[in-house]
Amino acid sequence: MLAYDQPIAAQPLARPRPPTAAGFTVADLVELLWRRKAAIAMAALIGGCVAVMVGKSLTPRYLATAQLYVDPRELQLVDRELTPRAQDVSGLAMMVESQARLITSNNVLLPVIDQLRLEQDPEFGGASDGLMSALLGLAGFGSKPSVDANAVKMAVLEILNRHIAVKRADRSFIVDIDVWSRDPAKAALLANTISAAYLAESRQSQAAAARRATTDLSGRLKELQARLRSAENALAVYKAQNNFVGTQDTLVSDQQLSASTQRLAAARAQTLDAQARYDQMESSRRAAADAGAIPEALQSPTIASLRSQYAETRRRYAELVGELGPRHPALKNMEKQVEDLRRTITEEVSRFAQSAKNDLTRARDYEASLTKALEEQKRQSVDLSQASVRLRELERDVEASGSVYQSFLKRSRETEEQESLNTSSARIIGEANPPQRRIFPPAMSMLAMLGFALGGFAAAAGTLVLERLRQPQAVPPSSPGVPEASPPSSPSKPAATAQPAVKLAPVLREKPLIARLQPSDVLLTLNGILSGADTADVTSIGWPTLRAGLAMTPFLDAMRQLRAAALRRSGGVVPVIAVIGPPSGEDRAITTLNIALAAARDGAKVLLVDADPLQHVLSDKFAAMRKDDSGSGRWPRFAERTTPPIVTVNGISIVTLPKSADAKPNATASAKRIRNAITQARAGQGYDLVILDGPTLPGSELHRELLAPDDDIVVVLPAASDINRCMDDVIAALDGAEHAIIGVVLNELPSTDDKHQQQIRQSA
């Protein structure tokens, strides 16, 4: 029997029972500390006083900081640009790091020691004139003066290094020089002196490097000068022997050859131009076209005048033809004038053609003479080219020797001038000032607060430890309410070989929700309205459905909790809820429809699937909306993919089952098609919930095929029957899968069988 007021216990797991540790509660701890408040307060005061005394005895430290701008891009005072255009960023960072390390080098710090006479400062190991130093000297613990001055400087240098910290800000060329000392003024003086010593060392190192470079370059100049003079003499002798005469850039023969080539190209272009003009004139004359339609004729004022007279005569001739007739003597005279003008224009154009022919002949002759002269110059140029091979070798030798000598001479002069130039761009951007606050020890108020807190905490901890030591250790009792069970022994083995009893703790699952569907939640509607409508409406099929306008009823609230539990168990996918129950006609299908309608009222898109292939009550109710193409009223056969669901106006899509042609329904095939519909609903079709109407009581075969392990189960129990017995039947049918039950709905609506019998009695 299922106890509805207790959570469902799954298969028990063997767990060791943790021992109950004896200890203080928060109230006991507060009470104990309150009883010892005087001792704790006294310890806190003592701790604060001790902290202040320790702070007073410590030597103070004051930190002064000087800032340097160390730019690795040195000034280019000799080249054209002041600074290089592009440099590697990582290389610049390494150079800045190197300069930061150079600040603490011996070449920088030793001049600081000499300038400030730090070997005589008591803070850096010098002799002290104080009373404490005198007493330590009498006791034999004082510092003994060293005879070696170099050893003294090395000792001071080591102490000074411990007082200095050089830091570089990230992604910048700013270097901070931090120096601490007992005296704030001394700390600032040390920081500023170290900065100045670093800049002086940078200038001296640059001057020394330039001086060494100048000495090395000057030693090579005389040898390079003699080599250049010898190469120039050899070149001059070879030119005189082979008659290489010309300007500094080219020879005279090369200049003549280049000029002849240019003149020949111009002559060829002139010949082509004359040939084109002559061909155009000849083609115009042979074509019997207008002789004056060539460019030369159009530009000639004589032809222009003749053409004007010709046009005027033709005009007068046309007028006389209209006035006098074709046989008039004046008309004959006018025809003769027109013919004379045409002949004059033709003769003038012929003179242009003869002139073009003469120009073509002269251009061809000029081109031939230039070609002959050019061939002669080419032969001379080939002869000189063979002799110029050695000439180019001598010129390259002179050029290389001169380039090297010029480079060394220029660089020698530059390095000589750089000895007196400061090309470093490092500078002090912030001088150190005497600090106003010390960095160690902290302020007396902070030390007092820290000592007070530590003293109080130590006293409280000691009080708690003493109190624990005084209490006896208690034996932890066994935890009540945990059943002790042992696994059943195998029937094939004797009882003597049974395993010893092991204490098991049940793993509790989420308690199933119990809801009631009452007559006040539903409204009975008329039947038959769906048959003439284009879109299905589940509230107009004759079944009791939820009342409209009621948003806060116990049944609706219970359905919201049930859907929330199903969503938590589904792990983010579309949850599937199977509604099962004892066989009772349409009662379970009505309850399933109202569960789907409750989800749709809250805005969820629901897919309702008829999963009862034995009774298919839901499919029979919506038979009017599912017909085949022939209109015979038979259900279409299911393929591998289910038929499209019936879309209703209530936000519910209904997948029905076909009527089987066989007498015995094929439960396995129907289960595969139902699971196919669930798979399609989960494959991005926008459904929020899938509800299965059935099966009635899942048997072994149908349960394995239809219900998946991750499906949730809601049991519908009729309120008029024995609820406990019905629930036992359901749990027995589930065969160990009762953990999937997330809710139980008690159907308090009148049974459809009772209403049918009442209608029969009324009709009788």
722 confidence band (pLDDT: 50, 70, 90): confident
Angstrom distance (rounded) from CA 749 to CA 587? 8
Question: Tokens 């159009």 belong to which residue?
Answer: 298
Distances (CA, A) of 46 to 34, 41, 52, 345: 19, 9, 10, 138
3-state secondary structure at position 584: coil
For 213-227, how does the pLDDT look when each residue is reduced to its tens digit (9 = 90+)?
A: 888 888 888 888 888
| C-alpha of 677 from chain center | 40
- DSSP characters over 298-335: HH-HHHHHHHHHHHHHHHHHHHHHHHH-TT-HHHHHHH
Share of the chain above pLDDT 70, in %: 73
Helix boundaries (H) for 471-546: none
Q: Which residue in 685, 590, 680, 673 sits closest to 638, CA to CA?
A: 673
* DSSP tag of 577: E
Dihedral sign of CA atoms 723, 591, 548, 758 in order? negative
Query: Given the DSSP bridges, would you call strands 652-655 and 646-647 parallel, antiparallel or unpaired?
Result: antiparallel
Separation between Cα atoms, residue 510 and residue 8, nearest integer Å: 7
Give 254: exposed, middle or buried? Use CB within 10 Å, 0-12, 13-18, 19+: middle
Instruction: Take residue 131 and report the two structure tokens written for it.
Output: 């009373």
Q: Provide the strand spans (E) within 458-512.
A: 484-485, 502-505
Average pLDDT over residues 13-20: 38
pLDDT at residue 236 tops 80:
yes
Supply the Cα-derived Rg of the chain in whole angstroms: 59
Range 417-445 average pLDDT: 82
Per-residue pLDDT for 491 more than 90?
Answer: no
CA angle 612, 615, 621 (to 5 degrees): 95
Q: Per-residue pLDDT for 729 more than 50?
A: yes
Residue 249 per-residue DSSP state? S
Question: What tokens appear for 193 in the block?
Answer: 């002196």
First to last CA, the chain: 42
> Which residues pair with residue 517 across a beta bridge?
747
Edge-to-edge strand order for the sheet containing 164-168? 164-168, 174-181, 62-69, 427-430
Please indicate whether residue 751 or residue 471 has the higher confidence score (pLDDT).
751
Residue 13 in contact with residue 415, Cβ under 8 Å?
no
Q: Which of 587, 596, 562, 561 is nearest to 712 (CA)?
A: 562
164, containing H or E segment: strand 164-168
Q: pLDDT tens, 554-586? A: 899 899 999 998 988 887 789 999 998 876 668
Q: How confident is the model at residue 343 (pLDDT cuts 50, 70, 90)?
A: confident
Find all residues with CB under 8 Å of 186, minimum gap 6, and list them: 123
The full DSSP string for 412-462 is HHHHHHHTT------EEEE-----SS-SBS--HHHHHHHHHHHHHHHHHHH
Residue 544, pLDDT > 70, answer yes
pLDDT at 649: 87
- State pLDDT tens for residues 254-269: 677 778 788 888 888 8
Q: Diameter of the chain by CA atoms?
A: 167
Task: Average the pLDDT over each of 240-249, 630-639, 715-724 and give the range with the smallest value.
Answer: 630-639
Taken in order 255, 258, 262, 264, the sign of the CA dihedral is positive
Q: How far apart are CA 456 and CA 449, in angstroms?
A: 11
pLDDT, tens digit, 9 for 90 and up, residues 301-312: 777 777 777 777
Q: What pLDDT is recorded for position 596?
A: 92
Q: Poorest-confidence range of 180-184, 488-492, 704-708?
A: 488-492
> HSE-up of 587 (CA within 13 Å, CB side)?
29
CA distances 143 to 124, 139, 491, 649, Å, are 12, 11, 95, 103
From residue 247, alpha-carbon distances to 244, 253, 255 in Å are: 10, 11, 10
Cα separation, 745 vs 561, in Å, equals 13
Sign of torsion over alpha carbons 342, 345, 351, 357: negative
Please give the Cα distance from 129 to 163 (Å, whole number).
22
Compute the C-alpha angle 439/443/449, nearest 5°. 135
Query: Are the C-beta atoms of residues 377 and 288 closer than 8 Å to each other?
Result: no
pLDDT tens digits along 152-189:
889 999 999 999 999 988 888 899 999 999 899 999 99
With a cut of 90, say whether residue 611 has pLDDT above it. no
Both tokens assigned to 316: 């007068």
Length of the chain: 764
Average pLDDT over residues 104-117: 91
229-256 average pLDDT score: 75
Q: Which amino acid is at 741?
A: I
Across-strand partners of 516?
Answer: 746
Tokens standing for residue 485: 């069970």
Q: What DSSP designation does 127 have?
A: -
Its sign, for the CA torsion 112, 114, 119, 120, is negative
The whole-angstrom separation of Cα 698 and Cα 72 is: 85
The predicted pLDDT at position 655 comes to 87
Evaluate if residue 140 carries a pLDDT over 70.
no
Q: Which long-range contacts (CB under 8 A, 24 or more apart) does 204-213 make?
A: 206/418, 206/422, 206/423, 206/424, 207/418, 207/419, 207/420, 210/415, 210/416, 210/418, 210/419, 211/415, 211/419, 213/411, 213/415
Dihedral over Cα of 106, 112, 117, 123: its sign:
negative
Helices 444-470 and 37-57 cross at an angle (nearest 10°) of: 140
Q: What is the pLDDT of residue 764?
A: 42
Name the most confidently modeled range: 239-243, 291-295, 540-544.
540-544
- Give the Cβ contact number of residue 310 at 10 Å: 19
Q: What is the pLDDT of residue 490?
A: 36
28 — pLDDT class (breaks 50, 70, 90): confident
Structural contact between residues 380 and 253, judged by C-beta atoms closer than 8 angstroms: yes
Helix/strand/coil for 718: strand
Token digits of residue 458: 């130590």
Phi and psi based region of residue 113 (left: phi greater than 0; alpha: psi -120 to 50; beta: remaining): alpha
Average pLDDT of every residue of the chain: 75
Task: For residue 753, give every residue at least 6 positions away whose Cβ sits within 8 Å of its Cβ, in sequence order, or none.
Answer: 584, 585
360: confidence class by pLDDT, cuts 50, 70, 90: confident
Indicate if the pLDDT at residue 629 is higher than 50: no
CA separation for the pair 408, 414 (Å, rounded) = 10
CB atoms within 10 A of CB 632: 7
Residue 194 pLDDT > 90, yes or no? yes
On whether the CB atoms of residues 526 and 546 are closer than 8 A, the answer is no
